[in-house]
Amino acid sequence: MFDKDKKLIFSGIQPTGVFTLGNYIGAVRNWGPLQDEYNCIYCIVDLHAITVKQEPAVLRKNTLGAYALLLACGIDPEKSIAFIQSHNPNHAELSWVLSCSTQFGELSRMTQFKDKSAKHADNINAGLFTYPVLMAADILAYNADLVPIGADQKQHLELARNIAVRFNQKYSETFTVPEPYIPTVGARVMSLQDPEKKMSKSDANPNACVYILDDKDTIIRKFKRAVTDSEAEVVYREGKAGINNLITIYSAVTGKAVAEVEREFEGKGYGDFKLAVGEAVADSLENVRTEYARLIADKAYLEQCYKQGAEQAYSISRRVVSKAYKKVGFIQR
């Protein structure tokens, strides 16, 4: 189904509940348009999810919901490969081989391991330590050329690149060394209540985070309560983190440049601006909400799509994993 002349993009997202507005603007929204320019593989990374404690029934529900959300956000299973990570055993198989080409010191320097260890002190398991290797396997199993990443994933992609180079040097050319694909607009959406922090679904304040399935009234209410400053001037500049964040969001969902946003709200108060941002965000997400409701009600269609995606993903990655197995000296099956 793929065009050999196009570069391949791989991206995965965890099934940790409904995507936030930050997930959407920074990553998911950009995935649909990529399908016409690149060969795209999208994956719900449920294997990564169990590095922290999960309720099995909730994980299953969240995984299916995340898959439906991908399609609702514009991923076309006829253009792209979209599947669930645990449905393709090649990821776990390659992860073991790559872990033997990864140094303990490299993993111990991963900042996310330190952060998650502090957050989940009662469950610092081996998977939490080694999951960057699984992430490398997710990417290298398809010889992906590009990986859409946020600022917090740069270290993991750099590890994947180091592992690929090290393996290639030891066993001869096997893996493509992936490059980052970083969107230039709206890549980092901040909390509405603490605009110095990234928007996160783990935030204890329910008004800090907008979810893409929030209804219009909820979205507008959250934006009306967004933290700003006392200047009452809609301009983007240093020292105005709250307003800068709202301008970034408004710019991202309307396509208007920052200077254009500033002109639009010149002489207007923060109340008018917050309302406009909330309405613009809600309107931009209306089609996603409608499509998600349709898809999640059609379990048979979703199953057909993720089974087809897993078969396609397995076929591509098996060739790569078999090559790696042969390189390290395993007898072929």
List the beta bridge partners of residue 13: 44
Residues 262, 145: Cα–Cα separation, whole Å = 38
Is residue 149 within 8 Å of 160, Cβ to Cβ?
no
Residue 315, amino acid: S
Scan for tokens 């033997």, then name that residue.
Answer: 100
Provide the 10 A C-beta neighbour count for residue 120.
14
H-helix or E-strand spanning residue 40: strand 39-44
Give catalytic status of residue 79 as yes or no.
no
Residue from 61, 79, 201, 323 carrying the catalytic annotation: 201
Here the contacts of 251-255 (C-beta below 8 Å, separation 24 or greater) are 251/185, 251/186, 252/25, 252/185, 252/186, 252/189, 253/25, 253/280, 253/281, 253/284, 254/280, 254/284
| CA-wise closest residue to 68 among 42, 38, 35 | 42
Residue from 7, 61, 198, 323 carrying the catalytic annotation: 198
Residues 6+ apart with CB under 8 A from 175: 140, 143, 164, 167, 168, 320, 324
Residues 6+ apart with CB under 8 A from 41: 8, 9, 10, 11, 80, 81, 82, 142, 144, 313, 316
DSSP reduced 3-state for 36: coil
φ/ψ region of 130 (left if φ > 0, alpha if ψ in -120 to 50, else beta) reads alpha
Give catalytic status of residue 116 as yes or no.
yes
Give catalytic status of residue 201 as yes or no.
yes
Residue from 116, 222, 240, 274 carrying the catalytic annotation: 116
Question: Among all residues, which ones are annotated catalytic?
Answer: 116, 198, 201
